[in-house]
């Protein structure tokens, strides 16, 4: 039964700097009016200057966290982020099969500073196991290229890659355009019945750490609240755009967004 609060189970890695990963996910879900629970896949040593260490957690511990949440609190949506290995992908896919909650799959592969977060060998596991289980898949251009083998340099490339990912089994794909050159950023939502463009001016800022994690979690929060897909994505997209504009300027590298701005607006 759906909770009025919108319960989101997040399966992802921890970011000690708080800008991405589990920390960003919790902030985004909370800001969007949902309830966040977590199953942490890895501990990272991370700040705005980069990832300085990654320490995976045991498979049984990852599953035990997820099972503890699902068996007691339950979930109206599940969001996956950094998985880190083929073995984790396989275990998380099995967890998804035990729940009826829609899965928002963010195929995290590379950190903002360029540190790889998913080995090449695990990309095939994401392609075959996670993509078909995604109610919504949220790749950026490099991730879509890795999953499909297609170039994504413009809107047509986004469309072709998105259609290929639908053919691989995703029920919907949000092709993020932040890595596509241009003064305008276009995210393209594709479903088997059509497409929706979400378009806005590119903000000239280095403070975009965790944008993908935040957007996927905000989408999951909307789905958990019972919003239709298009409405959930549009609400999440507007939230992230404003969070980028309000970024607090923390750190000497790729700084975090202002995840909490809606909470201050409600005071």
Q: What are the catalytic residues?
A: 176, 208, 210-213
Which letter does DSSP use for residue 127 in this model?
I
SS3 sequence of 75-144: CCEEEECCCCCHHHHHHHHHHHCCCCCCEEECCCCECCCCCECCCHHHHHHHHHHHHHHCCEECCCHHHH
Which residues of 16-145 form beta strands (DSSP E)? 35-47, 50-56, 77-80, 103-105, 136-137
How many Å apart are CA 157 and CA 22, to the nearest integer? Answer: 30
Tell me whether strands 35-47 and 7-15 are parallel, antiparallel or unpaired: parallel
Contact 152, 161 (CB under 8 A): yes
Contact 258, 207 (CB under 8 A): no
Sign of CA dihedral 245, 251, 255, 258: negative
Tell me whether strands 103-105 and 77-80 are parallel, antiparallel or unpaired: parallel
Contact 200, 184 (CB under 8 A): yes
Contact 102, 33 (CB under 8 A): no
How many Å apart are CA 80 and CA 153, to the nearest integer? Answer: 26
């Amino acid at each position: 039964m759906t909770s009025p609060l919108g319960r989101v189970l997040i399966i992802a890695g921890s970011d000690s700097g708080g800008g991405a990963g589990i920390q960003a996910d919790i902030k985004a879900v909370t800001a969007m009016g949902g309830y966040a629970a977590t199953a942490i896949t890895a501990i990272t040593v991370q700040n705005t200057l980069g990832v300085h260490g990654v320490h995976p957690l045991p498979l049984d511990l990852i599953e035990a966290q997820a099972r503890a949440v699902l068996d007691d609190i339950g979930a109206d949506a599940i969001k996956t982020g950094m998985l880190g290995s083929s073995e984790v992908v396989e275990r998380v896919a099995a967890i998804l099969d035990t729940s009826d909650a829609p899965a928002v799959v963010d195929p995290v592969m590379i950190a903002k500073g360029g540190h790889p977060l998913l080995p090449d060998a695990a990309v095939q596991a994401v392609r075959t196991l996670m993509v078909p289980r995604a109610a919504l898949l949220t790749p950026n251009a490099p991730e879509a290229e890795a999953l499909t083998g297609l170039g994504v340099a413009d809107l047509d490339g986004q469309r072709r890659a998105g259609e290929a990912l639908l053919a691989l089994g995703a029920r919907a794909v949000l092709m993020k355009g932040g890595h596509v050159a241009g003064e305008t950023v276009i995210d393209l939502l594709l479903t088997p019945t059509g497409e929706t463009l979400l378009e806005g001016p590119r903000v000239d800022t280095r403070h975009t750490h965790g944008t993908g994690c935040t957007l996927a979690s905000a989408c999951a929060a909307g789905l958990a609240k019972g919003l239709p897909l298009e409405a959930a994505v549009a609400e999440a997209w507007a939230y992230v755009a404003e969070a980028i504009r309000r970024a607090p300027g923390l750190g000497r590298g790729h700084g975090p967004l202002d995840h909490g701005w809606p909470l201050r607006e409600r005071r």
